[in-house]
Each structure stands twice: as C-alpha cells, then as structure tokens.
Amino acid sequence: MRLNKYLAQAGIGSRRACDRYIQEGRVAVNGGIQIQPAYQVEPTDVVTFDGSPVQPEDRLIYLQLYKPRGTLTTVRDPRGRETVMKWITDIKERIFPVGRLDYDSEGLLLFTNDGRITNILTHPRYEVLKTYRVYVSGQVNCRELEVLADGIVKNGRHYQAHSTKLIEHQKGFTIAEVVLNEGKKHEIRILFEGIGHPVLRLIRTKMGPITLDENLLPGEWRYLLKDEIKLLFERGGVSTDVNQ
C-alpha cells in the first residue's frame, strides 16, 4: 500500500494532507524519514508519524457534530484553547474533523478516520456545496443578497456566494441562507460586511449531501447513517459497501 494511503487510512488526514506531512519529514518508516508518498508499505514495516506508531484503523468512523461557537476546529491547540475534540467522547479510534468551521461559527461538522471522505468533501474538483443559515444586522433586501452572488472584492481577493435566499426579517435583523462552493476563510462574514450588514450568528446546516440533524443540540453528535455514508461516496464517484 502506498505510504500516503496508509497514513490516510490510519486517520492521520486526507491523502493530500498526508502527502504534505511526508514531504515535511514528519513520517518515518523503520526508523528512517521517508519523503516519498509512493513508497510501498510492507506488512513488516513500522510507520510512525511525529514519532508515534500508526496503522490503518480496523473500524472506519463517520459522525456529525453540532459544533458550538467558541471552539477551534482542530484536533489540538498548542495554546491550550478548547477544540472540537472536547465534544467527541467514547471514540477509541483516532478521528479528525473534515474541513473547517470558524471559531465563532456553529453547526454541522463532520468527523472521520477515512481519508477518502475527507478528500471528497474538501478537494475543489468535487465542488461540494456548503449551506449556512445566517443572522445579520439590519434589514437586508433581495437586491443586496444578489450582490453577494455577483461577488465583491476585498484586499485584492474575490469573494462570492454560490447562491443566496432571504428567509425572513425580524426586528433589527435578517435571516438568510447562503450557499458556498469554495469557502474562503471568513467568506460569509466578509460578504455581509461588504454590504453593511455584519453577521450576528452563522450556522452551517448542510455539507454536500449531509444535513445537520435538527435533533442535535450544540456539543452533541451522532454517527452517520449508512445511507448518508453511501451518499458521500456517491458524491465522489466511489462505489463501496458500508459496514458500520
């Protein structure tokens, strides 16, 4: 098995991330640094990542968390800040969050130890859409939302929503739905600031074919259903049997 695939199946990260870790010299085989992602791992090889032994997981894990605000989307933080791993309990396998969700944002966050799913959900070629419910200050009209779909430029970078929809007006704020197909850092916040309506609350409700479970409260999680996992693989054109 190729080294990058071996690491991905061990839950270290996506295949692309594992390529980077290998090239950064963080992976060793039989005690020696190995910088070739295509290196063929033999059953007798001992593979380590940052000095710790790794091996492909026997059980593949897929779950969704309602990420609360005020947590970092990372496995660990060198400054000791609270991460999303606080909420994932009773899982002995090493899993990791797929993609990112800002510190001040909340909602759907997927976790897995299957690098194939991470690749499907994060690689640009799959064009996985992400849907957000956005609460913004003031009364936003449809024309202003159209501006977001047309796109704005800030500091030389182009930001653009895939689509937008007005949900409702409340006293002092507006609720809208925004769909992104790329998701640059803070993109939705930057878009709404660009039309003079700062974001008050941002909830991711959908990622590809997976919808946030309405029964989950912030900090709660559940395993993905077999049908949901199948939809993810179909999104990537992968045919597989799901045995969870």
Q: Which two tokens mark 117?
A: 């799913």
pLDDT at site 244? 46
What is the full DSSP assignment across 136-151?
EES---HHHHHHHHH-
Average pLDDT over residues 164-191: 94
- Do residues 236 and 124 lie in contact, with contact meaning Cβ atoms separated by under 8 Å? no
Query: CA 137: distance to chain centroid?
Result: 27
* Each residue's pLDDT tens digit, 92-112: 788 999 988 999 999 999 999
pLDDT at site 176? 98
How far apart are the C-alpha atoms of 54 and 165, rounded to whole Å? 46
Question: Catalytic site residue 102?
Answer: yes
* Each residue's pLDDT tens digit, 202-230: 999 999 999 999 999 999 999 999 899 99
Cα angle value 14/19/24 (rounded, 5°): 125
Domains and CATH numbers, the chain: 3-53 (3.10.290.10), 62-111+219-235 (3.30.70.580), 129-207 (3.30.70.1560)
Q: What are the two backbone dihedrals, phi and then psi, of residue 239, each rounded to the nearest 5 degrees?
A: -100, 120
pLDDT at site 119? 87
CA distances 198 to 48, 178, 201, Å, are 46, 14, 9
Annotated catalytic residue, options 19, 45, 102, 213? 102
- List the alpha helices (DSSP H) in the chain: 3-9, 15-23, 115-122, 142-150, 187-194, 226-235
Rg for the chain, CA atoms, rounded: 20
Asked if pLDDT for residue 56 goes beyond 80, the answer is: no
Asked if pLDDT for residue 45 goes beyond 90, the answer is: no
Phi-psi region of 183 (alpha: psi -120 to 50; beta: other; left: phi over 0): left
Average pLDDT over residues 237-243: 56
Asked if pLDDT for residue 82 goes beyond 80, the answer is: yes
pLDDT at site 243? 47
Contacts of 115 (CB under 8 A, 6+ apart): 5, 7, 8, 9, 11, 12, 13, 14, 15, 18
pLDDT at site 110? 97
Phi-psi region of 208 (alpha: psi -120 to 50; beta: other; left: phi over 0): left
Looking at the chain, the whole-number percentage of residues with pLDDT higher than 70 is 96
pLDDT at site 239? 55
